[in-house]
Structure 1
């Protein structure tokens, strides 16, 4: 089993309901155990700022899925909930990002671990800090070591 952190965000439709639905789907997966779930925070958009505020949360899970299998599950869950990818950093019904997978470092065309920008985004760090302060600290310290 691996311990992973997923970050979730939504700003279209009914964001709170979509986050709940995504978390329920994550918890229902037979190869995932939901350990902790953060509170939902509302934050201004990042990157593309002319859109509605985002509802953000994070979950801490144990999983027997491999990293790319977990990514595929997250993408399939987004599609089930209605996500259509139209523009980078644009509005979305749901977004589920794999932030960490144990302390694995991985870089493929499809997935980079840990998430390369997690340490820069308070809308990720704040929920992660709530459910896994050691992971949040690891993300920040790892980024600081890489940049020095």
Structure 2
């Protein structure tokens, strides 16, 4: 099985945000190798109003999973951790215990109903993402 280099962004703005991210990273590491992590960064919510500040981190992983298999795996983690709504499906952004986005997958360009790689909003539009990703991209 070939290994793929993937950039993920994780964020949380409910409860103990850093702990939520660490739990998600631990779950990811059961199937993927974590190669590098950024520092934690706090940011205001983007595209919705909330009193809760986000904690975010970027990570590079190595995985044998296909893009859709990886998406299914991170969505399963989000649900296991208590995430109730999926903003990519509903197009409505709300507070969340964990959010895991696939930003890049090797140099693949991929678009489906559920997934777009690269994740252009994180690469070009969101300031917190650009800060986290500057050393990875």
Q: How many residues align?
A: 130
Alpha-carbon distance, 1:80 to partner: 1.0
Structure 2 gaps of 5+ residues are none
d(CA) in 2 for partners of 1:86, 1:79 = 9
Aligned to 1:20: 22
Give the TM-score of the pair, scaled to structure 2. 0.90
d(CA) in 2 for partners of 1:70, 1:123 = 23
Q: Secondary structure at the match of 2:120?
A: coil
Higher percent of residues as helix = 1
For residues 119-134 of structure 1, what are the structure 2 equivalents within 5 Å?
A: 119-130=124-135, 132=136
Q: Secondary structure at the match of 1:123?
A: helix
Structure 1 gaps of 5+ residues are 136-148
8 Å Cα contact 1:51/1:90 also seen in 2? no
d(CA) in 2 for partners of 1:93, 1:18 = 7
Q: Secondary structure at the match of 2:18?
A: helix
Give the TM-score of the pair, scaled to structure 1. 0.83
**Cα deviation 1:15-73 (Å, max 9, x = unaligned):** 111001001111121xx111001111000111012331100001101111000000001
For residues 58-77 of structure 1, what are the structure 2 equivalents within 5 Å?
A: 58-77=58-77
